[in-house]
Amino acid sequence: MSEFKLLINGELVPGALSMDVINPATEEVLASCPRADKNQLDQAVAAAKAAFPAWSATPIAERKKALLAIADVIEANAGDLARLLTQEQGKPIGDATMEVYGTAAFFRYFTSLDLPVKVIENSESRRVEAHRRPLGVIGAIVPWNFPLILMSFKLPPALLAGNTVVLKPAPTTPLTSLKLGELVRDILPAGVLNIITDANDLGAALTAHPDVRKISFTGSTATGAKVMAGAAGLLKRVTLELGGNDAGIVLDDVNPKETAPKLFASAFQNSGQVCIAMKRLYVHESIYDEMCDELAGIAEAAIVGDGLTQGTQYGPLQNKMQFDKVKELIEDSRQHGKVIAGGDTLDQPGFFIRPTIVRDITDGTRLVDEEQFGPVLPVIKFSTNDDAVARANASPYGLGGSVWSSSPERAYEIATKLESGTIWINKHADLAPNIPFGGSKLSGLGTELGEDGLNEFTQLKVINVAL
């Protein structure tokens, strides 16, 4: 394992402190990782602030060239990055490889966008223009479930818009971010990108830092509320992509055998550690028993193991805290429903839980009402479509949701009634860099991806000229 360094002002530097990174498939120490202290955080912010005037004045065409060069470097090192991602995060190597290439694709996508001056009015009396200007230093905070792809929701649009960045990965998955810093340090001018790590102890200081103009955060709703509070003192911009408890609604005209594999994939990708995973499934009573049986059969056949092992479909939970939480939710669900597949851990080291299906459970239980963020799916029976919609909307979360039917028209009617940032029909968790993404209610604030996501890293500046 190579030595890892922080990236501050264009230099690879050791941390003032250190911490161990654990491989969740073995529970063994994967690497010793540098850990920044408050002084190094301040240095990173100062470097970003100093680099901002020149970077923001750099023509957008040159900034695009830098993003394309980063994409090239990511692709050239895809094998090493994917292996490192699997070792620190746990996901199967095939999934990790797709994440790496997806990250490069997101960088490339943002180079297709521009920030042109828009003429709002050009009349005899006045000319009004809308300009998009960079904000300044951006604090980007990334979670542990998709360390690279979720970074690419933030870093490319922030840099394209002319901002400079301090990136803070999650403490349990810092290595791919640090490796990326090593790979791109010569592509960007010193200070434009800085990467620091912590043990969950620098987030508040980064959020409240007087020289940081915006925080882009992906993570839990509880932490998102703290970020918003920390940013409030200076009224700095925030984009918050937070927790979800996505509902899937399966209508009575669905073929369970054909649809169950798609539903299963929607719930169990990355062992359920996806903000927009299907986390509760409402199935019409007429097909409920058959659908439960189909889902249980898929779960029982699932191959769980080390992500580096050939044929593994589902890796471990990423960390012990999440592992213990999901085990607790499964045990609680036994009091309120029936576990018909999975529900157990593997008899070996690692934070492994087999894909779990729970039936005969309903709203008001922890597994249905809370975000499990793990490989367990409650399947809930409903009688009328209006009842399913009401129960889906009763959640305080509103990130995503889906409706499944052999009639897209029927599904569309229900989709219009659901209270979430994104509703899919006959699919779930379909994201693309050109499609805006954001949550409602407790699931977040602001938008990522697409032109809307780029604009979130800018200040609207109106120039109004008398003619």
Question: CB neighbours of 145 closer than 8 A, spacing ≥ 6?
Answer: 89, 270, 273, 274, 275, 318, 373
C-beta neighbour count of 455 within 10 angstroms: 17
Written as one letter, the residue type at 256 is: P
Return d(Cα 383, Cα 424) in angstroms, integer. 21
Closest CA to 158 of 183, 194, 130: 194
Q: In the annotation, is 292 catalytic?
A: no
In the set 88, 99, 241, 456, the catalytic residue is 241
Q: In the annotation, is 275 catalytic?
A: yes
Q: 181: which 2 tokens?
A: 């810093």
Return d(Cα 208, Cα 231) in angstroms, integer. 5
On whether the CB atoms of residues 85 and 144 are closer than 8 A, the answer is no
Return d(Cα 150, Cα 338) in angstroms, integer. 35
Return d(Cα 127, Cα 395) in angstroms, integer. 47
Strand-pairing partners, residue 437, are 448
In the set 88, 99, 275, 292, the catalytic residue is 275
**Could you write out the DSSP letters of every residue in 184-209?**
HTTTSPTTSEEE---SS-SHHHHHH-
Return d(Cα 460, Cα 172) in angstroms, integer. 37
In Å, how far are 27, 80, 313, 352 from 310, measured between CA atoms?
A: 20, 17, 9, 17
Catalytically annotated residues:
241, 275
